[in-house]
Structure formats: C-alpha cells, structure tokens
Amino acid sequence: MILEARGLSKRFPWGRGLGGARAWVRAVEDVSLGVAAGETVALVGESGSGKTTTGRMLAGLEVPSAGEVCFRGRPLDALAGAERREYRMAVQMVFQDSQASLNPRKTVAQILDVALGARGVPGARRREAAAELLREVGMEPEATFLPRFPHQLSGGQRQRVNVARALATDPAVIVADEPVSALDLSVRAQILVLLQRLQQERGVAYLFISHDLAVVRSVARRVAVMYLGRLVEEGPTEAVFRRPAHPYTVALLSATPVPDPRAARRRQRIILPGDVPSPLAPPPGCPFHPRCPIAREVCRREFPPPVEVGDGQRALCHFPGELKAGPGRAD
C-alpha cells in the first residue's frame, strides 16, 4: 500500500459534559484502510460520518488521536527530513470548495508557482511548468488563465486549477474530498473524466471521498462505507454494489437513483428510522442498532466483529447479508 490508515481514531474536544468532565466528539474510530499505487478507493457515507476527517488525517492535515498513518509502509511519525518532505509532495488533497481552497489574492500563475517551488522547480522554469500543468488539466489557451484570479474563473475552471496545483508536486496519491459535488452536472462529468485520464497517464492513486454512490461506482475499484466514524463495510466496488452485506450499505444503495425506470419501480427503498446518533455519545453495542431494521438483542449488547463475506469484502455486523433491498437495488 502506498498510503494506509492503521486503526486511526480522531476525537475533538467539545465543551464540558456532566460533572464538568471534558466531552469528546468521536469523529473517527479505529479505521483501517489502504490505497495501492494507481488505484481509486472510495470512502462513502452521510455527512458527519467521519470520511473527511479520515481523509485529512491521511493527507497529514489532522493529527490522529490514536492509530497511525503509513506512507509506503512507514509510519508518518518515523519520517523525518527528506522522507517527510517526500510524503508531503507525494500526498496531495483536492477540496470540495474550489473557491475557498484557492488564495483569492493570488493569480493562477502565482498559485501554481508556490506549488512548483515547493517541489524544487527552479524559478526560471516555473512559468512554463505552470502553463504545462494548465494544458494537462484542459485549460487552454493557458496564457488566458495564468493571469486570472480565482473569482474570474467558473467553478469547473477553479476545480481544474486545484487539480493542477495538486499535480504540481507530482503526487502518488490525491485525497479528493467531494471534488465534484459542488459542480453542475455537465462540469462534474468533465472533471471526473479529467481525473480518470490523469490516473491513466500518471498512475496517480485517489482516495475519493463522496456521498454520491452513482459517481463512486463509476470511478472506484474498491469502496469503504463509513457510519458514525466507523468503517462498516469495505470491498471491491462491484461486489459491494451487487451484494451489500451491512444493513447501512443496503439502505444507502436502496436510495441511489437507477437509470432503468422498471428496476426503479420494482426496487424497495429502505427508509432508516431516526437520525444519526450524536458522536458525543455513540450507542452501546453496534453503533447502527437504533436505526437497523434487523437489530436483535445481541446488537444492543455487543460490538459486532468484522466478518469476511466475500473475496476482500468485509462487514462490521453480527448478521451480514441478512437484509435485502429487493430486486433492482443496485443494477
């Protein structure tokens, strides 16, 4: 694995609880996940499931409360000097908000200049290197875009600049956090095609964070599903979409639009009761039990084990595969 989470947890302080004791939000709990060279792994889940915090820890933007991030098999804590710098260059992040992630006071040329400088590209070479990057992400003629400020670009163009900036350090992995969800449908498709082309040409791997399962199915080879800070299911994308084993995955997929209207009519939508519990006080036993349609007594008492349900597919559930969403659920 080129980038790996091993038992990662993250807790944030959240005021004071009963008796004045410090309260903690458990944003991520014991997540293990790896991204191999040149592959796309998707991290999916509802808002607040912990997927962004997991991505930020893998990109070095958050420090884990427990567990470790490994780069090419070595824990980040053990990296210093040139190795640490190599990690910083090799792992980049693209954010959902293309506007907020670009400095509004710098032109596209200046933004790319900073990133190229970090990689050690000599000053005299940077203008041409920036132009090359813009050509690579489909922003031509590049002379038109280099002098522009972010507010003078469309949302799709800004996201292309973000991708170009990430590419400036010649990364091995890009953590892409909802990179297309703020874009119009047609622009969304263009950015997805761009990311796939760059993967073919450069061999870059992606950790693709998204709540959009239709997009995930089209881009990712493997998928990991998060609920309340935990990884509840993981496996090859097609296997998880065809035979979801965790009841939460089944419910998520049952709400995904399907192109065939007949399949959509036959499909049984699973509506989960209640809201996602507070990460300040997750339920005992299985964290999903208050909303699970097939929860039993053991689920309320005992934390479920990870169960292997297929080739490389695992679910954190006492009764994996028991809940079905009916015909046409994912096809």
Q: How far apart (Å, rounded) are the C-alpha atoms in residues 22 and 26?
A: 13
- My answer on whether omega of the bond before 287 falls inside 30° of 0, hence cis, is no
Q: Closer CB to ligand SF4, residue 179 or residue 279?
A: 279
- Termini Cα distance of the chain: 30
CB of 241 to ligand SF4, least distance (A): 18
CB of 274 to ligand SF4, least distance (A): 13
CB of 174 to ligand SF4, least distance (A): 32
Q: Closer CB to ligand SF4, residue 133 or residue 228?
A: 228
3-16 sheet: strands from edge to edge: 22-35, 3-16, 66-71, 74-75
Tokens of 16: 């004071």
Q: Are 313 and 238 in contact (CB under 8 A)?
A: no
Q: Closer CB to ligand SF4, residue 318 or residue 329?
A: 318
173-177 sheet: strands from edge to edge: 91-94, 173-177, 205-210, 40-44, 222-227, 230-236, 313-316, 306-310
Q: Closer CB to ligand SF4, residue 206 or residue 319?
A: 319
Other CB atoms within 10 Å distance of the CB of residue 155: 17
Q: Which residue, among 156, 301, 328, 175, has the nearest Cα to 242 in the 3D structure?
A: 328
- Beta strands, E only, 159-293: 173-177, 205-210, 222-227, 230-236
CA distance to 14, 19, 32, 211, 231, per residue, from 279 (Å): 11, 19, 19, 19, 14
CB of 247 to ligand SF4, least distance (A): 5
Q: How far apart (Å, rounded) are the C-alpha atoms in residues 240 and 252?
A: 11
Q: Closer CB to ligand SF4, residue 109 or residue 309?
A: 309
Q: Closer CB to ligand SF4, residue 76 or residue 250?
A: 250
Q: Which residue, among 224, 207, 219, 221, has the nearest Cα to 314 in the 3D structure?
A: 224
Q: Closer CB to ligand SF4, residue 26 or residue 246?
A: 246
Name the site residues for ligand SF4 (rule: CB under 6 A). Answer: 246-247, 286, 288-289, 292, 294-295, 299, 304, 317-319
CB of 276 to ligand SF4, least distance (A): 14
CB of 282 to ligand SF4, least distance (A): 12
CB of 286 to ligand SF4, least distance (A): 3
Q: Which residue, among 87, 98, 41, has the nearest Cα to 221 in the 3D structure?
A: 41
Number of H-type helices and E-type strands within the chain: 12, 12
Q: Closer CB to ligand SF4, residue 209 or residue 270?
A: 270
Q: Closer CB to ligand SF4, residue 217 or residue 318?
A: 318
CB of 316 to ligand SF4, least distance (A): 7
CB of 139 to ligand SF4, least distance (A): 46
